[in-house]
Amino acid sequence: MANGQGGPEIERLIGLLAKLPGLGPRSARRAALDLIKKRDRLMRPLAQALMDAANHITECENCGNLDACSPCNICAAPGRDQALICVVQDVSDLWAMERAAAFRGTYHVLGGTLSAIEGIRPEDLNIARLITRASRDGVSEIILAMNATVDGQTTAHYITDQLSGTGVSVSRLAHGVPVGGELDYLDDGTISAAMKSRRPF
Amino acid sequence: MANGQGGPEIERLIGLLAKLPGLGPRSARRAALDLIKKRDRLMRPLAQALMDAANHITECENCGNLDACSPCNICAAPGRDQALICVVQDVSDLWAMERAAAFRGTYHVLGGTLSAIEGIRPEDLNIARLITRASRDGVSEIILAMNATVDGQTTAHYITDQLSGTGVSVSRLAHGVPVGGELDYLDDGTISAAMKSRRPF
């Protein structure tokens, strides 16, 4: 009863909920009470879903995506173009690409970016496997979809260098004005990039 | 793969996480990935904690608090003054009182407030049991600690009426300037209340 929160069971639940990104101690308490109120509708199903995911989700041996099978459902899908590989930093970026539904090739998840400050080296990322895939699978194009940050672009340059011997063409996502974006709110770099890459109307 | 989120296991987990108060779809996705990364440190323990709480947490038959036993650890504690009952709206308010450690009596959790708009009547709240406790237990004082809202104060008036036959004295929390509060940011009602209840210095 150190914090007066209904015994060790609830204290422990709140402590664990508070470790989730986006939940602090206050929202963890609110979530715990809400869960107890919705015991059969939410609490037990969530416990079960967590256990199921912990037991079944694995990293795809081919691309690094998370799925219940390896190779993952994207790598194994017959409708996917195996000649195209879109390289992303994290699984969340893969999900974002899939939500946009603008790509029907396969992916390669690096698991982060190179970072001198955080000491992340090429061998810490899923890069060697990408080079192997690029040399082997009849791959025609590798699309680099890293974030437009310094670390993301450093990683893109490194991968381009590594791929130079394979003969595979390497592209990157276009820079420009976001759809629905207002010029007045955009940074100078984006406006410059959009101007440089302007297209006939 | 409707939203491209790694198969039904992850989709289901994200869907349930998104139902927690404080987590939207985006933060639920982030939480799911974080949980998968911390499978043994966070994901399995959280599943276990949820299941434990779902199986063991119950409402105290005496006061309405949530605990693994009934009567709860506060009602059963020998050091607690059974003559004092602090009436709160919800368990979260009980927790807040306990964190402040300013009260060593017992509690009574109403489970909400009367509300004409939401159609919450006295019989929907844990009020009858409070009247029984007040008449029976050698109770000397009932402290009404409802929120300082219209519904909270309506509920406080209703309970005071119901308790009028019992001879138990009824008090409420003081209104005034919050500790650390700046006058300039306070509403007029609070300043008026603080002025009316001023104390010798």
| CATH number for the domain that contains residue A91 | 3.40.1360.10
A132 CA to chain B: closest CA distance, Å? 24
Q: Which residues of B touch A73 (CB under 8 A)?
A: 1, 6-7
Clarify whether residues A97 and A26 are in a common domain: no
The CA distance from B63 to B58, in Å, is 12
The complex scores an ipTM of 0.84
Give the minimum alpha-carbon distance from B50 to chain A in angstroms, rounded to a whole number: 6
> Does residue B151 sit in the same domain as residue B104?
yes
Q: Write the Ramachandran bin of A64: left for phi over 0, alpha for psi from -120 to 50, otherwise beta.
A: left
Q: Which residue of A has its CA nearest to B52?
A: A9
- Give the residue-averaged pLDDT of B103-129: 94
Pairing mode, if any, of strands B66-67 and B58-59?
Answer: antiparallel
Residue B109 β-bridge partners: B88
- pLDDT score recorded for residue B7: 83
From CA B16, how far away is CA A33, in angstroms rounded? 15
Q: Would the CB atoms of B17 and A46 count as touching at under 8 Å?
A: yes
- Boundary residue ending a domain (A38, A56, A74): A56
Check whether residue B52 and residue B110 sit in a common domain: no
**Same-domain check for residues B130 and B45:** no
Q: Which residues of B touch A97 (CB under 8 A)?
A: 4
Query: Does A200 map to a domain?
Result: no
Would you say residue A24 lies in a domain? Answer: yes
For residue range B9-52, what is the model confidence (pLDDT) as tens digits? Answer: 999 999 999 999 989 999 999 999 999 999 999 999 999 999 99
In a domain, A182, yes or no: no
Per the CB < 8 Å rule, is B95 touching A42?
A: no
> What integer pLDDT is reported at residue A2 of this predicted model?
45
Answer whether residue A17 is part of any domain.
Answer: yes
Q: Higher model confidence: residue B100 or residue B31?
A: B31
Peptide bond into A71 cis (omega under 30): yes
Task: Say if the Cβ atoms of B9 and A50 lie within 8 Å.
Answer: no
Together in a domain, B37 and B100: no
Do B3 and A31 make contact, defined as CB atoms within 8 angstroms? no
B187 by Cβ neighbours in 10 Å (0-12 / 13-18 / 19+) ranks as: exposed
A46 CB neighbour count, 10 Å cutoff: 24
Same domain, B98 and B49: no
Mean pLDDT of all residues belonging to chain B: 91
Q: Which residues of B touch A44 (CB under 8 A)?
A: 50-51, 54
Q: Point out the residue among B36, B72, B97 whose CB comes nearest to the CB of A53.
A: B36
The CATH number assigned to the domain holding B30 equals: 1.10.8.420
The domain containing residue B51 runs over which residues?
Answer: 10-56
What proportion of chain B, given as a percentage, has pLDDT over 90?
73
Q: What share of chain A is helix, strand, coil (3-state, %, to 5)?
A: 45, 15, 40
Same domain? A21 vs A92: no
Element (H, E) at A161: helix A150-163
A159 and A93 in one domain?
yes
Residue B2: per-residue pLDDT: 45
Contact B50 A95 (CB under 8 A): no
A50/B7 touch (CB, cutoff 8 Å), yes or no = no
B138 and B83 part of one domain:
yes
The verdict on residue B48 lying in a domain is yes
* pLDDT in single tens digits along all 201 residues of chain A: 445 567 889 999 999 999 999 899 999 999 999 999 999 999 999 999 999 999 999 999 999 999 999 999 999 999 999 999 999 999 999 999 998 888 999 999 999 999 999 999 999 999 999 999 998 868 999 999 999 899 999 999 999 999 998 889 999 998 888 888 888 888 888 888 888 888 878
Is a pLDDT exceeding 60 seen at residue B3? no
Question: Would you say residue B64 lies in a domain?
Answer: no
Q: What is the pLDDT of residue B34?
A: 95
**Which two tokens mark B167?**
């001879």
Instruction: Establish if B122 belongs to a structural domain.
Output: yes
Query: In this predicted structure, what is the pLDDT of residue B1?
Result: 41
Contact by Cβ (8 Å): B115, B160? no
- For residue A18, the distance in angstroms to the closest alpha carbon of chain B comes to 11
Contacts of B69 in chain A (CB under 8 A): 7
- Look at residue B136 and tell me whether its pLDDT is greater than 70: yes
Same domain? B40 vs B85: no
Chain B residues close to A36, C-beta within 8 Å: 53-54, 57, 66
Residue B87 and residue B51 share a domain: no
> How many domains, in total, are found in chain A?
2
- Interface touch B3/A99, C-beta < 8 Å: yes
Q: Give the pLDDT of residue A1.
A: 40
- Do A98 and A156 fall into the same domain? yes
So what's the pLDDT on residue A118? 93
A198 in a structural domain: no
Give dist(CA A188, CA A168) in Å, integer.
33
* pLDDT at site A4: 56
The structure tokens listed for A199 are: 């297209």
Residue from B1, B14, B16, B20 whose CB has the most chain A CBs within 10 Å, to mutate: B20
**Chain B, nearest residue to A13 by Cα:** B49
Binary contact (B52, A12; C-beta < 8 A):
yes
Segment B66-91 shows an average pLDDT of 94
